[in-house]
Amino acid sequence: MSAPTSAHEHPAARALAGRHRIRLWEIIPWLLAIAFYFAFPRYLGFGTELLVTILFAISLDLALGYAGIVTLGHAAFFGAGAYTAGMLAFHHIWSEPITGLIAAAVVAGAVGLGSGLVLLRTTGLTLLMLTLCTMALLEEAANLGGHYTGGFDGLPGIDIPPLFGMFEFNPLYPRVQYLYVLGVLFVCFVFVRTLVYSPFGQSLTGIRENTLRMHAVGAPVRVRLIVCYTISAAIAGVAGALWAQSNAYVNLSTLGLDRAATVLIILVLGGYGRLYGAFVGAVAYMALSHFLSKYFPTAWQLGLGLLLVVIALFARNGILGIFETLQRRIGIKRPSP
Amino acid sequence: MADALELKSVSAGYGETVVIEDINLAIKAGESISVIGRNGVGKTTLLATVMGHTALHAGTLALNGRDLARVPPYRRALAGLGFVPQEREIFPSLTVLENLEVGARAGHWTKERVFELFPNLKERLSNMGNQLSGGEQQMLSIARALLTNPTVLLMDEPTEGLAPVVVETLTAVLLRLRGESDLSIILVEQNSRVAFEFSTRTLVMDKGRVVYDGESATLRDDPERLAKLIGVSE
């Protein structure tokens, strides 16, 4: 046997170190987000909504893109988080925003864990329908529990105290909300990025690609799927709570099929299983929706539909997939994992 | 001392369908055996049954004395079963390194050791699984299984569909693996030449049953009997 090379010289060690390294271009989305704050002060409401949507899409990407859990009911967790933060504040039980987010994450995570224990025994179409049913059940529960949830009208005018006791949330000039949501998005993103590049994240990719094979290498597939689903639900809950806090109201739309379908479309548009697909997809979808509805108020969804058809036909890996194909064609080397 | 792997009167298959019947097999620690037979006689099903991917209808399976009958596949892997599937089944979206790490556990087999066995893989660490040739994928599949540090390694036709030169390389690797660190190996192989070279003991299966369990040399030296058992001569 040859003499072992030193730990740092070994190609495996180099590749491992490189996998976690932050690439220079990864700073760009964050710089753009900060630039947006200064460049478009009148659009910070739109920007805040965009950032919340990105976080929601990242949570779905973890479940769908990495673990291959097909779901059409992710808004269940978004809504669970939104209603948790909203109800705690509305009923004057707890309104401090950051701990409100933690409470939302715990509740949404618990919903994810409880439903995941049952749902993740199934796959494919059955799983898809059951996730949809879970969301519909929660939506109806929120509708029926009007005394606590405000029912069909929701909970308007939630009073959120200043962040750190200093920075006031102003619904008309949402500067604080924008920076607050950006900060939370950054923290959650770093967490998810670390997770997907960890051995746990690799095993999720393995499960998505070949469940039997993962069983054969000793991975407890179901447990890992449930853990992933729970984490994903908790992050979706944080997104929902951010939405409730920044808009100062909660309604049934947070638990609706519209929201669940939109985030799925965003992920398909940007490219799932890529982390940054959530950013690209959300920006593309929301910017297009915004401008198309402004200039073609009666037919703006046609434009979005056409774009989706084009993506589905010619770019199965979404907008980021197009860039990757172009990179390959012009011979740019893929960065080390 | 308990056998590394022991099957007693095992009948198994897919759902209600019985594919293998009344299989009795015992392998000692460090022992290697080959399993040969015509297509569709149940060789792959035998390995799948040991891994827990089929429905066990009757009989018992034990790994190092531990009953496996009700143990799910991932716990069997953790208990010391390694599996190299026929289709290689590399994870295409993971790099070579990630494919190796995904099930790696501490033990005799380290990355250093598998790179000694398969130097090609060391050069391809950051390539994606789907960027490898068939031979490299097979090497990766074997390396991935070795890194789980199994006590019993199941290999399902590792040379199938590979170029002759790659078959030579892989056969050399298989020979090196024999008896390494008390590793027991069951090699399912269509190529009887490779099978006889690999192990001194060979099992022949036919219609879901073991019809021969004995010396490889006896079969190799008796082409008529071999032809009768598997329908071809060497």
What are the domain boundaries of chain B? 5-86+152-230
CB-based contacts of B123: which residues, under 8 Å, 6+ apart?
A: none
Q: Per-residue confidence of chain A (337 residues) as pLDDT tens digits? A: 444 445 556 666 666 666 677 788 889 999 999 999 999 998 899 999 999 999 999 999 999 999 999 999 999 999 999 999 999 999 989 889 999 999 999 999 999 999 999 999 999 999 999 999 999 999 999 999 988 998 888 898 888 888 898 888 877 788 899 999 999 999 999 999 999 988 899 899 999 988 888 988 888 999 999 999 999 999 999 999 999 999 989 999 999 999 999 999 999 999 988 889 999 999 999 988 888 888 888 888 888 888 888 888 888 788 888 888 887 777 655 544 3
Are residues B102 and A206, on separate chains, in Cβ contact within 8 Å? yes
Query: What mean pLDDT is predicted for residues B11-34?
Result: 92
Residue A317 lies in a domain: no
Q: By CA distance, what is A213's nearest residue in B?
A: B89
Residue A11 lies in a domain: no
Domain that holds residue A55: 44-282
Number of domains in chain A: 1
Number of A–B residue contacts, CB under 8 Å: 88
Per-residue pLDDT, B168: 85
Contacts of B112 in chain A (CB under 8 A): 4, 10
The percentage of chain B sitting over the pLDDT mark of 70, rounded to a whole number, equals 97
Report which residue type is found at A34. Answer: I
CA distance A35 to chain B (A): 34
CA atoms within 13 A on the CB side of A91: 14
Are residues B126 and A337, on separate chains, in Cβ contact within 8 Å? yes
- Whether chain B has a CB inside 8 Å of the CB on A17: the answer is no
CA distance B54 to chain A (A): 12
- Whether chain B has a CB inside 8 Å of the CB on A218: the answer is yes
CA distance B122 to B154: 24
Contact predicate A311/A319, CB 8 Å: yes
List strands edge to edge, sheet with B17-27: B17-27, B5-14, B55-63, B66-67
Contact predicate A152/A255, CB 8 Å: no
Among the partner-chain residues B75, B85, B126, the one whose CB lies closest to the CB of A336 is B126
Are residues A16 and B102, on separate chains, in Cβ contact within 8 Å? no
The complex scores an ipTM of 0.70
Contacts of A200 in chain B (CB under 8 A): none
Are residues B83 and A2, on separate chains, in Cβ contact within 8 Å? no
Contact predicate B9/B22, CB 8 Å: yes
Contact predicate B200/B14, CB 8 Å: no
Query: What mean pLDDT is predicted for residues B203-217?
Result: 93
CA distance B205 to chain A (A): 24
- Whether chain A has a CB inside 8 Å of the CB on B131: the answer is no
- Whether chain B has a CB inside 8 Å of the CB on A68: the answer is no
pTM: 0.81
Greater confidence (B60 vs A218) lies with: B60
CA distance A111 to chain B (A): 27
- Whether chain B has a CB inside 8 Å of the CB on A4: the answer is yes
Are residues B91 and A209, on separate chains, in Cβ contact within 8 Å? yes
CB-based contacts of A333: which residues, under 8 Å, 6+ apart?
A: none
- Whether chain A has a CB inside 8 Å of the CB on B91: the answer is yes
Is pLDDT above 80 for B195?
Answer: yes
Report which residue type is found at A335. Answer: P
Per-residue pLDDT, A18: 66
Contact predicate B42/B18, CB 8 Å: no
The percentage of chain B sitting over the pLDDT mark of 90, rounded to a whole number, equals 60
Residue A225 lies in a domain: yes
CA distance A302 to A221: 41
User: Which 3-state string (H, E, C) describes chain A?
Assistant: CCCCCCCCCCHHHHHHHHHHCCCHHHHHHHHHHHHHHHHCHHHHHHHHHHHHHHHHHHHHHHHHHHCCCCCCCCHHHHHHHHHHHHHHHHCCCCCCHHHHHHHHHHHHHHHHHHHHHHHCCCCHHHHHHHHHHHHHHHHHHHHHCHHHHCHHHCECCCCCCCECCCECCCCCCCHHHHHHHHHHHHHHHHHHHHHHHCHHHHHHHHHHHCHHHHHHCCCCHHHHHHHHHHHHHHHHHHHHHHHHHHHCCECHHHHCHHHHHHHHHHHHHHCCCCCHHHHHHHHHHHHHHHHHHHHCCCCHHHHHHHHHHHHHHHCCCHHHHHHHHHHHHCCCCCCCC
Per-residue pLDDT, B188: 95
Among the partner-chain residues B72, B85, B113, the one whose CB lies closest to the CB of A213 is B85
Of the residues B74, B81, B105, the best mutation for testing chain A's interface (the one with the most A CB atoms within 10 Å of its CB) is: B74
Give the residue from B152, A91, A270 showing the smallest Cα distance to A83: A91
Residue A54 lies in a domain: yes
Per-residue pLDDT, A1: 41
Query: What mean pLDDT is predicted for residues B83-104?
Result: 89
Residue A329 lies in a domain: no
Confidence of residue B233 (pLDDT cuts 50, 70, 90): very low
Helix orientation angle between A221-247 and A97-119, rounded to the nearest 10 degrees: 140
What CATH number should be reported for the domain whose range is B5-86+152-230? 3.40.50.300
- Whether chain A has a CB inside 8 Å of the CB on B175: the answer is no
Contacts of A219 in chain B (CB under 8 A): 74, 77, 102-103
